[in-house]
Amino acid sequence: MITLSKATVVFGAQPIPVLDSVSLVVEQGEFVSVVGASGCGKSTLLNVIAGLEKPNQGVVEVESAPSLIFQDPALFAWLSARENVALALHDKGMRRADQRSEADRLLRMVGLAGDENKRPHELSGGMRQRVAIARAIARGSRLLLMDEPFSALDAITRDVLHDELVTLWKEHGLTIVFVTHNVREAVTLGQRVMLMAARPGRVVAEWHIDEAYPRDPSSNFVHGLEREITAALKKEVVGV
Protein backbone atom coordinates (compact mmCIF):
# COMPACT_ATOMS: atom_id res chain seq x y z
CA MET A 1 0.00 0.00 0.00
CA ILE A 2 1.15 3.50 -0.86
CA THR A 3 0.00 6.55 1.05
CA LEU A 4 0.96 10.06 0.05
CA SER A 5 -0.45 12.95 2.01
CA LYS A 6 0.08 16.47 0.82
CA ALA A 7 3.44 15.73 -0.74
CA THR A 8 5.07 18.84 -2.14
CA VAL A 9 8.30 18.90 -4.13
CA VAL A 10 10.11 22.07 -5.13
CA PHE A 11 13.19 21.99 -7.35
CA GLY A 12 15.80 24.49 -6.24
CA ALA A 13 14.64 28.09 -6.25
CA GLN A 14 11.79 27.59 -8.75
CA PRO A 15 8.63 29.40 -7.60
CA ILE A 16 6.16 26.79 -8.89
CA PRO A 17 6.32 23.41 -7.15
CA VAL A 18 6.79 20.30 -9.30
CA LEU A 19 4.34 18.48 -7.05
CA ASP A 20 1.86 20.58 -5.15
CA SER A 21 0.28 18.95 -2.13
CA VAL A 22 -0.45 15.63 -3.83
CA SER A 23 -2.39 13.10 -1.81
CA LEU A 24 -3.15 9.60 -2.97
CA VAL A 25 -3.71 6.11 -1.68
CA VAL A 26 -2.90 3.01 -3.72
CA GLU A 27 -4.21 -0.21 -2.21
CA GLN A 28 -2.35 -3.50 -2.18
CA GLY A 29 -2.92 -5.26 -5.50
CA GLU A 30 -4.22 -2.20 -7.29
CA PHE A 31 -3.31 -1.18 -10.85
CA VAL A 32 -3.24 2.60 -11.11
CA SER A 33 -2.45 4.57 -14.26
CA VAL A 34 -1.20 8.12 -14.10
CA VAL A 35 -1.59 10.29 -17.23
CA GLY A 36 -0.60 13.85 -17.90
CA ALA A 37 1.27 16.04 -20.34
CA SER A 38 5.06 16.20 -20.34
CA GLY A 39 6.46 18.07 -17.39
CA CYS A 40 3.44 17.65 -15.14
CA GLY A 41 5.45 15.88 -12.47
CA LYS A 42 4.47 12.26 -13.28
CA SER A 43 8.02 11.03 -13.03
CA THR A 44 8.67 13.07 -9.92
CA LEU A 45 5.61 11.47 -8.34
CA LEU A 46 7.06 8.05 -9.12
CA ASN A 47 10.47 9.02 -7.77
CA VAL A 48 8.87 10.23 -4.55
CA ILE A 49 7.03 6.92 -4.14
CA ALA A 50 10.28 5.06 -4.90
CA GLY A 51 12.12 7.06 -2.28
CA LEU A 52 14.55 8.47 -4.85
CA GLU A 53 13.23 11.95 -4.16
CA LYS A 54 12.32 13.34 -0.76
CA PRO A 55 9.31 15.65 -0.67
CA ASN A 56 9.92 19.10 0.81
CA GLN A 57 6.62 18.79 2.64
CA GLY A 58 4.14 16.03 3.30
CA VAL A 59 4.34 12.39 4.22
CA VAL A 60 5.08 9.33 2.07
CA GLU A 61 4.47 5.81 3.30
CA VAL A 62 5.27 2.82 1.13
CA GLU A 63 4.81 -0.63 2.57
CA SER A 64 7.18 -2.71 0.46
CA ALA A 65 10.37 -1.77 -1.37
CA PRO A 66 9.34 -0.97 -4.95
CA SER A 67 11.02 -1.84 -8.23
CA LEU A 68 11.21 0.82 -10.89
CA ILE A 69 10.98 0.24 -14.61
CA PHE A 70 11.81 3.02 -17.03
CA GLN A 71 11.53 3.57 -20.76
CA ASP A 72 15.20 2.58 -20.97
CA PRO A 73 15.32 -1.01 -19.71
CA ALA A 74 18.89 -0.28 -18.49
CA LEU A 75 20.03 -3.87 -18.87
CA PHE A 76 23.71 -4.65 -18.42
CA ALA A 77 25.10 -5.04 -21.92
CA TRP A 78 27.84 -7.49 -20.96
CA LEU A 79 25.47 -9.98 -19.33
CA SER A 80 23.07 -12.43 -20.94
CA ALA A 81 19.35 -12.17 -20.25
CA ARG A 82 19.70 -14.91 -17.63
CA GLU A 83 22.67 -13.21 -15.94
CA ASN A 84 20.84 -9.89 -15.93
CA VAL A 85 17.96 -11.43 -14.02
CA ALA A 86 20.21 -13.55 -11.81
CA LEU A 87 22.14 -10.47 -10.73
CA ALA A 88 18.96 -9.21 -9.06
CA LEU A 89 19.17 -12.28 -6.79
CA HIS A 90 22.70 -11.54 -5.58
CA ASP A 91 21.71 -10.81 -2.00
CA LYS A 92 19.12 -13.56 -1.57
CA GLY A 93 21.64 -16.04 -0.22
CA MET A 94 21.08 -18.41 -3.13
CA ARG A 95 23.64 -20.64 -4.76
CA ARG A 96 24.71 -19.79 -8.31
CA ALA A 97 22.84 -22.74 -9.77
CA ASP A 98 19.65 -21.76 -7.93
CA GLN A 99 20.01 -18.18 -9.11
CA ARG A 100 20.25 -19.44 -12.67
CA SER A 101 17.22 -21.69 -12.47
CA GLU A 102 15.18 -18.99 -10.76
CA ALA A 103 16.22 -16.52 -13.48
CA ASP A 104 15.19 -19.04 -16.13
CA ARG A 105 11.83 -19.49 -14.46
CA LEU A 106 11.22 -15.73 -14.42
CA LEU A 107 12.28 -15.40 -18.05
CA ARG A 108 9.87 -18.17 -19.02
CA MET A 109 7.17 -16.28 -17.16
CA VAL A 110 7.69 -13.17 -19.30
CA GLY A 111 7.72 -15.26 -22.46
CA LEU A 112 11.46 -15.42 -23.04
CA ALA A 113 12.01 -19.18 -22.83
CA GLY A 114 14.86 -20.00 -25.22
CA ASP A 115 16.36 -16.51 -25.11
CA GLU A 116 18.18 -16.95 -21.80
CA ASN A 117 21.67 -16.82 -23.29
CA LYS A 118 21.10 -13.82 -25.53
CA ARG A 119 22.72 -10.52 -24.74
CA PRO A 120 20.65 -7.34 -24.66
CA HIS A 121 21.82 -6.26 -28.11
CA GLU A 122 20.49 -9.51 -29.55
CA LEU A 123 17.01 -8.84 -28.16
CA SER A 124 14.29 -6.57 -29.55
CA GLY A 125 13.12 -3.54 -27.60
CA GLY A 126 10.07 -5.39 -26.32
CA MET A 127 12.12 -8.40 -25.25
CA ARG A 128 14.55 -6.15 -23.41
CA GLN A 129 11.70 -4.57 -21.51
CA ARG A 130 10.48 -8.07 -20.61
CA VAL A 131 13.89 -8.88 -19.17
CA ALA A 132 13.68 -5.66 -17.16
CA ILE A 133 10.28 -6.73 -15.82
CA ALA A 134 11.60 -10.19 -14.93
CA ARG A 135 14.54 -8.55 -13.20
CA ALA A 136 12.25 -6.28 -11.22
CA ILE A 137 10.10 -9.23 -10.14
CA ALA A 138 13.26 -11.14 -9.21
CA ARG A 139 13.93 -8.52 -6.57
CA GLY A 140 10.94 -10.01 -4.80
CA SER A 141 9.14 -6.71 -4.92
CA ARG A 142 5.35 -6.84 -5.20
CA LEU A 143 5.23 -3.15 -6.06
CA LEU A 144 6.15 -2.09 -9.58
CA LEU A 145 6.56 1.56 -10.46
CA MET A 146 6.62 1.91 -14.22
CA ASP A 147 7.61 5.14 -15.95
CA GLU A 148 6.50 5.06 -19.60
CA PRO A 149 8.01 1.59 -19.95
CA PHE A 150 6.52 0.84 -23.37
CA SER A 151 6.61 4.25 -25.03
CA ALA A 152 9.61 3.40 -27.20
CA LEU A 153 7.95 0.25 -28.57
CA ASP A 154 5.85 -0.27 -31.68
CA ALA A 155 2.06 -0.44 -31.22
CA ILE A 156 1.69 -4.19 -31.72
CA THR A 157 4.49 -5.13 -29.33
CA ARG A 158 3.01 -2.71 -26.84
CA ASP A 159 -0.42 -4.36 -27.05
CA VAL A 160 1.15 -7.77 -26.46
CA LEU A 161 3.09 -6.49 -23.47
CA HIS A 162 -0.06 -4.88 -22.06
CA ASP A 163 -1.79 -8.27 -21.99
CA GLU A 164 1.25 -9.92 -20.44
CA LEU A 165 1.62 -7.24 -17.81
CA VAL A 166 -2.03 -7.64 -16.80
CA THR A 167 -1.52 -11.42 -16.55
CA LEU A 168 1.57 -10.97 -14.36
CA TRP A 169 -0.22 -8.45 -12.22
CA LYS A 170 -3.12 -10.83 -11.62
CA GLU A 171 -1.08 -13.98 -11.11
CA HIS A 172 1.40 -12.43 -8.70
CA GLY A 173 -0.83 -10.04 -6.86
CA LEU A 174 1.37 -7.13 -7.87
CA THR A 175 0.65 -3.52 -7.12
CA ILE A 176 1.41 -1.35 -10.14
CA VAL A 177 1.65 2.38 -10.60
CA PHE A 178 1.93 2.99 -14.33
CA VAL A 179 2.90 6.43 -15.59
CA THR A 180 2.25 7.25 -19.24
CA HIS A 181 1.34 10.11 -21.55
CA ASN A 182 -0.66 7.70 -23.69
CA VAL A 183 -4.31 7.93 -22.60
CA ARG A 184 -5.39 4.75 -24.41
CA GLU A 185 -2.64 2.80 -22.65
CA ALA A 186 -3.73 4.22 -19.30
CA VAL A 187 -7.35 3.21 -19.93
CA THR A 188 -6.44 -0.26 -21.24
CA LEU A 189 -4.40 -1.05 -18.14
CA GLY A 190 -5.61 0.77 -15.06
CA GLN A 191 -8.35 0.05 -12.57
CA ARG A 192 -8.02 3.69 -11.89
CA VAL A 193 -6.72 6.53 -14.07
CA MET A 194 -5.42 9.65 -12.43
CA LEU A 195 -5.00 12.79 -14.49
CA MET A 196 -2.22 15.13 -13.53
CA ALA A 197 -1.86 18.78 -14.48
CA ALA A 198 1.29 20.87 -14.64
CA ARG A 199 2.48 24.07 -12.99
CA PRO A 200 2.00 23.21 -10.24
CA GLY A 201 1.94 19.42 -10.60
CA ARG A 202 -1.22 18.03 -9.05
CA VAL A 203 -3.91 15.40 -9.48
CA VAL A 204 -6.94 17.06 -11.09
CA ALA A 205 -9.24 14.18 -11.91
CA GLU A 206 -9.72 10.47 -11.39
CA TRP A 207 -11.67 7.74 -13.19
CA HIS A 208 -12.51 4.33 -11.78
CA ILE A 209 -12.74 1.61 -14.40
CA ASP A 210 -14.67 -1.57 -13.68
CA GLU A 211 -14.36 -3.04 -17.16
CA ALA A 212 -13.08 -6.63 -17.12
CA TYR A 213 -9.60 -7.64 -18.30
CA PRO A 214 -8.17 -8.18 -20.81
CA ARG A 215 -9.43 -4.98 -22.36
CA ASP A 216 -9.46 -4.55 -26.11
CA PRO A 217 -7.71 -1.24 -26.86
CA SER A 218 -9.89 -0.80 -29.96
CA SER A 219 -13.16 -1.46 -28.14
CA ASN A 220 -15.86 1.17 -27.94
CA PHE A 221 -15.48 1.30 -24.19
CA VAL A 222 -11.77 2.13 -24.29
CA HIS A 223 -12.32 4.60 -27.12
CA GLY A 224 -15.10 6.39 -25.30
CA LEU A 225 -13.19 6.81 -22.09
CA GLU A 226 -10.05 7.74 -24.00
CA ARG A 227 -11.97 10.58 -25.70
CA GLU A 228 -13.30 11.79 -22.39
CA ILE A 229 -9.93 11.78 -20.62
CA THR A 230 -8.12 13.26 -23.63
CA ALA A 231 -10.62 16.14 -23.65
CA ALA A 232 -9.93 16.75 -19.97
CA LEU A 233 -6.18 16.54 -20.59
CA LYS A 234 -6.43 18.99 -23.47
CA LYS A 235 -8.28 21.38 -21.25
CA GLU A 236 -5.46 21.25 -18.74
CA VAL A 237 -2.76 21.72 -21.38
CA VAL A 238 -4.38 24.43 -23.50
CA GLY A 239 -6.53 25.89 -20.75
CA VAL A 240 -9.75 25.92 -22.81
**What does the binding site for another protein look like in residue numbers (CB under 8 A)?**
67-68, 70, 72, 74-79, 87-88, 90-91, 119-122, 135-136, 139
CA angle 153, 224, 198 (to 5 degrees): 65
Smallest gap from Cβ 215 to another protein, in A, equals: 29
Q: Between 138 and 161, whose beta carbon lies closer to another protein?
A: 138
CB of 226 to another protein, least distance (A): 30
Please say which residue, 22 or 85, places its beta carbon nearer to another protein.
Answer: 85
Q: Which is nearer to another protein, 95 or 121 (CB)?
A: 121
* Cα distance between residue 134 and residue 53, in whole Å: 25
Shortest Cβ distance from residue 136 to another protein (Å)?
Answer: 8
Q: How far is the CB of 168 from another protein (least distance, A)?
A: 18
Strand ranges inside 27-97, DSSP E: 31-35, 57-62, 67-69
Rounded to a whole number of angstroms, the CA Rg of the chain reads: 18
Count helices and strands (H / E) in the chain: 7, 9
Of 136 and 187, the one with the shorter C-beta distance to another protein is 136
Q: Which of 71, 57, 66, 63 is nearest to 28 (CA)?
A: 63
Residues 6 or more apart in contact with residue 154 via CB below 8 angstroms? 126
CA distances, 29 to each of 1, 169, 185 (Å): 8, 8, 19
Cβ-based nearer residue to another protein, 120 or 201: 120
Q: Which is nearer to another protein, 66 or 200 (CB)?
A: 66
**Short-list 141, 159, 170, CA closest to 217:** 159
Bond into 200 cis (ω within 30): yes
The least CB distance from residue 153 to another protein, in Å, is 17
How distant is the alpha carbon of residue 213 from its chain centre? 18
Q: Which is nearer to another protein, 70 or 213 (CB)?
A: 70
Cα separation, 17 vs 8, in Å, equals 7
